[in-house]
Structure 1
Amino acid sequence: MTTPSPLAAVSPYALPARPRILIVKVSSLGDVVHNMPLVHDLRACWPDAEIDWVVEEGYVDLVRLLPDVHRVIPFALRRWRKRFWQGDTWAEIGALRDAIRERPYDAVLETQGLLKTAIVARTAARAAGAPVIGLGNATQGSGYEPAARLFYTSPVKVPRQTHSVRRSRLLGAALTGATPPEPPRFFGPTARTLHVNDPLWADLPPRYAVCFHATAGAKKRWPVASWHALGLRLQAEGLTVLLPWGNESERRDAEGIAAGIPGAQVLPRFSVMQGFGLINRAEVVVGVDTGLVHIAAALCRPTVEIYTATWRWKTEGYWSDRIANVGDDGVVPSVDDVYSAAVRVRGVVG
């Protein structure tokens, strides 16, 4: 018989020693990464817990990097919206409903705070009468939908200014009754070697810096002239500047940046998962507030996160000295700021 963790005794809920717990967090890339420490917190309390996770289908492989997640259930609302009237869409929605009702959960954690995800959580919990724990209020800058509270049995209020990582962990703490340990843990061990030998990266230079310049929000970008100046300094140290992109507009931007930096390379398009191989071999990662930069920070690679039009406190990497955060909402960092940070994080032994 398995002995429950001592932490389980302080939980305000009468959960078994091996509880079945469902996490609902579907997107976006950075938010999914920042939700990962919640899994480790639950396992610290219940080492034998069976944890499932509902996530947007594009991030299924990402969540599978967590060995403590028993089952990853794909959610495809982005695709379903484009063909809502088609029969196969409704068949997939039915399959999702069956998957979340397949086993009785002892608790459901809904960490997105949206109506759509709250409905999924309540549907999963209804069969067994499990508690649904979700956000009881909006946090600053979040996409929280107050109607979601109607589907929670246990709404949890959190401080208005709460880091994305801490917000999810506070919901977990409401279930476990335990204070989340620091620093937070993210991926499993395989993430550090994932795709490092991918044929796509066969010709990478021996020393390079990855510069994630692209982001969906134009205000979050860093000026091209600043990228040129930073690239020249990195190039003078013997580092090749590598420039990723995700669409044609971003590719043109990458080419414009590369034109001002001798030897800079515009990379071929790659998947999120292939990005691990690129990041894990980089001497330093520099980038704006975007998902792949948050992955680099979660991996504790030497990372400089550039903020220009978003609150730094909301997503900054705070768990390692190998991460530096520069700029803030309305405070565009200088080239000196970013370069100094890049030198500093590279000097920290991991």
Structure 2
Amino acid sequence: MDRFLIIRLSSLGDIIHTLPAFAALRRRYPEAKIRWAVEKKGKEILDLVPGIDEVVVVDKKKWRHSARTIKGRDQIALDFQGLVKSALLAYLSRSRRRIGFSRKNLKEPMASFFYTERSSPIPEEENHVIRKNLKLLETLGIQESRFEFPLCIPDEAVQSVRSKLSAIGRQDGQRILVLNMGAAWETKRWFPEKWIELIKEVPLSDSFPILLWGNEDENRLAKIVAEKTGVRVAPFLAIKEAIALLRISSLVVSGDTFALQAACALDVPVVALFGPTNPSRNGPFREGDKVIYVKRDCSPCYKHECSDLQCLQAISVEEVATAVRDLWKKHG
């Protein structure tokens, strides 16, 4: 039996972007055993993906334990993370073949030391990260261009979300407009005052706008916006429920973060707000979605901290509002 180990530990959006490669691998090897190594938070996504034989949870704070956990009888380890820590896990797995990206496409080139094979290099900024991931499979003779996201959302998760929305005022028939304020990087977060202006600019008929957040700081900002606009703040949602919310939404407005990647994977229309990252590499990949990106001399910088955030400051409320109205009408 063929045995594979996929390594994509984090982040949530990057795990979503690795699903098409998993789907292609499973199609080519329907009888193979496929394990996936991931950090604890990402397991909640992989639990929704049929066809993964085992999810191996890696604790980055307990490397000795992780080294024991990762060992298996895998023949091939595929490192979609491209960091030293993920490449080291491939090595510790004792897989005979350890496949990673070209040294030119690695954020940490030292990771290449642990590989036995590498994909051919591609221009990073001209290729979507999903295509980069699919490129890795070419080392196995798999040529794939489809973007398939095998997510299976339980009915009970959808019903739980519907009940929670009803509890905060959503009426039957109201279409859900998700306004995602959160992002792991502060440099990806549009400003509360901009969200307030946007909400006042787009009072859409039959809509139920809801502010989505991911941590307590984002929740605090969402409450500030809610106080100024009357828009509801989403209750705490587990990752499975957040995905269910996105699945039943009519439109998602978000920066470059998990909510955006998941909405795209679920074929939900999006308005994407990009600042320090490149939408050609990380953004929506479907025709019809709207990307708002004001390129500056420093763009894309991929910085987690910035003193002035010119790129996000330059995104006008009017442009975002127009995009929201257009997609709302188009998909009504």
Q: What is the TM-score when the length of structure 1 is the normalising length?
A: 0.80
Q: Does residue 187 of structure 1 match 2:150?
A: yes
Q: Does residue 340 of structure 1 match 2:322?
A: yes
**1:15 maps to what in 2?**
none
Structure 2 distance, partners of 1:149, 1:29, is 24
**2:301 maps to what in 1?**
none
Unaligned runs of 5+ in 2: 297-310
Is this contact kept in 2: 1:307–1:329, CA < 8 A?
A: no
- Secondary structure of 2:182's counterpart equals coil
Structure 1 distance, partners of 2:2, 2:49, is 18
Tell me how large the CA RMSD over aligned residues is.
2.4
**2:67 maps to what in 1?**
97
- Secondary structure of 2:178's counterpart equals strand
Give the Å deviation of 1:215: 2.1
Amino acid at match of 2:42: Y
Output aligned runs, 1:104-253, within 5 Å: 104-126=73-95, 130-139=96-105, 144-156=107-119, 157-161=121-125, 162-175=127-140, 177-182=141-146, 184-188=147-151, 190-191=152-153, 193=155, 195-198=157-160, 199-203=163-167, 205=170, 206-253=174-221
Distance 1:274 1:337, change over 3 A: same
Amino acid at match of 2:251: V
Structure 2 distance, partners of 1:340, 1:99, is 50
% of aligned pairs identical? 27
Structure 1 distance, partners of 2:256, 2:285, is 14
Is this contact kept in 1: 2:250–2:331, CA < 8 A?
A: no
Distance 1:236 1:303, change over 3 A: closer
Give the Å deviation of 1:202: 4.1
Structure 1 distance, partners of 2:31, 2:16, is 23
Give the Å deviation of 1:258: 1.8
Structure 2 distance, partners of 1:247, 1:318, is 27
Distance 1:37 1:57, change over 3 A: same
Structure 2 distance, partners of 1:29, 1:148, is 21
Distance 1:97 1:48, change over 3 A: same
Structure 2 distance, partners of 1:349, 1:209, is 12
Is this contact kept in 2: 1:195–1:274, CA < 8 A?
A: yes
Structure 2 distance, partners of 1:49, 1:346, is 43
Q: Deviations over 1:290-347 (max 9, x none)?
A: 11221111111122111122211121111353x3222144444322332333234445
Q: How many residues align?
A: 308
Give the Å deviation of 1:194: 6.3
Q: Deviations over 1:2-37 (max 9, x none)?
A: xxxxxxxxxxxxxxxx52111011001111111111
Give the Å deviation of 1:259: 2.8
Unaligned runs of 5+ in 1: 1-17, 81-88
Is this contact kept in 2: 1:118–1:151, CA < 8 A?
A: yes
- Secondary structure of 1:286's counterpart equals strand
Structure 1 distance, partners of 2:143, 2:266, is 23
- Secondary structure of 1:195's counterpart equals helix
Structure 1 distance, partners of 2:94, 2:135, is 20
Distance 1:193 1:213, change over 3 A: same
Structure 2 distance, partners of 1:238, 1:71, is 43
Q: Deviations over 1:132-167 (max 9, x none)?
A: 11012244xx7x211111100002223232322112
Distance 1:201 1:76, change over 3 A: farther
Give the Å deviation of 1:105: 1.7
From 55, 66, 81, the counterpart of 2:49: 66
Is this contact kept in 1: 2:183–2:214, CA < 8 A?
A: no
**151-160 vs 25-34, which deviates more?**
151-160
Structure 2 distance, partners of 1:348, 1:36, is 28
**2:260 maps to what in 1?**
293
Is this contact kept in 2: 1:243–1:264, CA < 8 A?
A: yes
From 290, 299, 306, the counterpart of 1:324: 290
**1:33 maps to what in 2?**
16
Output aligned runs, 1:17-28, within 5 Å: 18-28=1-11
**227-236 vs 249-258, which deviates more?**
227-236
Distance 1:244 1:158, change over 3 A: same
